[in-house]
Amino acid sequence: MNKNRITAFLLTLTVAAFSAFCVSAEPEDTPKESETTQTVEFTDEDTDENNSSFPAPRAKSAILYDLNGGRIIYSNNSNEKNYPASVTKIMTAMLALEKGNLTDTITVSESALADITYLHSKLGLKTGEQISLENLLTALMVCSANDAANVIAEYISGDIASFVALMNTRAAELGMTGTNFVNPHGFHDDNHYTTAADIAVLAREAIKNTKFCELAKIKTAKIPATNMSEERMISSTNHLISRYRNTFHYYPYATGLKTGSTDEAGNCLVATAEKNGISLLSVVLGCENENDKELAYSFVDTKAMFEYIFNNYKTVTIATTADIISDSKVYEAKDSTRVALSPSADIIMLLPKDYSEENIKQEIKLEENISAPIEKGVRLGSVVYSFANLTGLEVSQHHIGVDLLAANEVKLDYFLHFIHAVGNILLSPFVLIPLILIAAVLIINAVNRNKRRQQRRRRMKSQHTASYRNGYRTQQTSSARRRTTSRTRTRTSGYSTSRRTTSSANTRRRPSNLPSRTPDPWDKYR
């Protein structure tokens, strides 16, 4: 009985375990939910994980620019010459805003419409029609009207040829070395060309004008009735900012700018976009758009570049004008005051969201001989910040450089200044060299004088020694002679004569130039 119960219990347990295993197990050929293939689309929630590589545009030349940080993010054949088509109108509009008056009324001339054909995009202006410059610019930027470009050119310069010359002059001023304009609208001409890098320079200059930015954002507009035309309704050719012509490419973060298209130039697009503090400018030239949706590469690829940067990068403020990033010792500063250094502009870098501060390098270059007095705001050097390792982008180095300005005033120590001034005068070649020469002459004279003095002393000593020796010999000879004479006289004359002679000899005066006579012990017997 007990054995049967145990056997039944074990059998039940085995069946339950097997059933649980079968329920929890999955067939090997059944895909898991996380492995299911999905189509990736660019959305606000996209991150670097689902968009790991930079989407290089399918264009003959392209450039992507960070407007806040002032840097090139991506570049491909950006200095290669291409036809710009209606992108040319950026220059035309910029010159009109710089030199014209928006409220001026312009009369359309016959010469302005002479080269406009059915192949041109146009507003439909008529000879003798009167229209304001502002409305002409609206038509130029929104519907890319070539006839409006010619009318503007004649208004600004008197004739189209003079305006084209002005366009090329302005391009040269901006450093657009790869550009040559032949007309104000961009209709194809073999000698009418530019580069993506030059167009980026032009666009950055143009968007400094507030009115230009307003015109570049217009989706649709009404051109008021004129003396020869009723009201006209126009819409933007830039599908990124307007749904009027095409809803597929609309991009809510786009802020402009200008399209262009001819058979020779292909599809061109200059676009700007802003999101989360990031402001971008892109230029694509020579795109071969195959349709107006998924294969419209000028719009699709531009949007893809924008999304990649917005989703994977962020703007980082490295330093502001209120920050002190360095200081320096100041020559002749009162109370040894140091000067603090601040950047002349905010330093903003576009960096990957997972960037490391270790990859940000700072290089400071100060002017030589920083000396007092120093006023606040004076330029004293420069600073360059660089960031490397921008994975996935062709341009992997990010450099931002600004001037360094004095953040405080430094006064001059007049006492130190006087001491240094005197020292500088004394150390001046005009003073130092004569002083050295004078010192050298004095030293040489002193040495020669000392030599002469020593020679004279040696000569006098030698003469004195010789005189002493000669005097002593003379004295000895005289003494001997006197002794001999005395003896002779004593023998011949007797004692008195000898004594008188001796007495006379003893009283004889010694020469004054002879040395003192050494006493002779025999004198008492003489």
Residue whose token pair is 């390792």? 389
23 membership: H or E segment, kind and range: helix 2-24
Are 141 and 258 within 8 A, CB to CB? yes
Question: Residue 222 has which token pair?
Answer: 């009404």
Identity of the residue numbered 426: L
Backbone φ and ψ of 287, nearest 5°: -80, 140
Which residues are 371's β-sheet partners? Answer: 331
Residues 6+ apart with CB under 8 A from 174: 201, 202, 205
> Nearest-CA neighbor of 505 among 522, 521, 491, 484?
484
Long-range contacts of 260-263 (CB under 8 A, 24+ apart): 260/84, 260/85, 260/86, 260/87, 260/88, 260/89, 260/144, 260/186, 261/85, 261/86, 262/83, 262/85, 262/186, 262/187, 262/188, 263/188
310 membership: H or E segment, kind and range: helix 297-312
User: DSSP assignment, residue 331?
Assistant: B
Q: Catalytic site residues?
A: 86, 89, 144
Are 97 and 132 within 8 A, CB to CB? no
Residues 6+ apart with CB under 8 A from 432: 426
